[in-house]
Amino acid sequence: MSKIVPCLWYDGTAQEAAEFYTSLLPDSHVDNIVLAPSDNPSGPEGSVLVVEFTLAGSPFMGLNGGPIFPPSEAYSQVVRCKDQAEIDHYWNKLLEDGGKPSQCGWLKDRFGVSWQIVPDEIGELMTKGGPKKADAVMQAVLQMVKLDLGKMRAAYNAA
């Protein structure tokens, strides 16, 4: 059992979000659903209050707390991808049904949760070749919405 579990706040869509996320990532599943008691201010008795789920082996909790605290970019999930095909897959899936792209590999899914879809190589591209190469990669990334690993590598190699 993990000592720390991120809790994501939803306005009635915690179960839908958990089912969506667990359908995307391997080693993911819904673990437990807690129903609201009769004195719950967030919803009627018997409605879904909490969803415990696992994403890529890590525990999460979804809380249907109501509209008072919408998600923000101050907290985001980072999905590290092995190649461009995986970047494209997660990017496209998370944007389905109302998600919104941002910049530099960031997006918000249809539930308002922020995600960063990045290549595994990003750390190496930003640190291994020195400041000139890191700056070239950063300048390329700043021009992107969805990250393009080929363009990032080209910027690194050209610097």
Specify the CATH class of 7-64 in words.
alpha beta
- One-letter-per-residue 3-state SS of 91-102: HHHHHCCCCEEC
Distance CA 93, CA 20 (A): 9
DSSP 8-class letter at 88? H
pLDDT in tens, 24-60: 999 999 999 999 998 777 788 999 999 999 999 999 9
Query: Which is the CATH superfamily of the domain at 76-158?
Result: 2,3-Dihydroxybiphenyl 1,2-Dioxygenase, domain 1 (3.10.180.10)
Distance CA 56, CA 104 (A): 23
Alpha helices, DSSP H, located in 25-148: 84-95, 122-127, 131-142
- Is pTM beyond 0.85? Reply is yes
Cβ–Cβ < 8 Å for 61, 126: no
Output 43 or 103, whichever has higher pLDDT. 103
In the chain, where are the structural domains located?
7-64, 76-158
CA dihedral 55, 16, 106, 57 (to 10 degrees): 0
Question: Over pLDDT 70: what percentage of the chain?
Answer: 100
Distance CA 63, CA 67 (A): 11
pLDDT of residue 24: 97
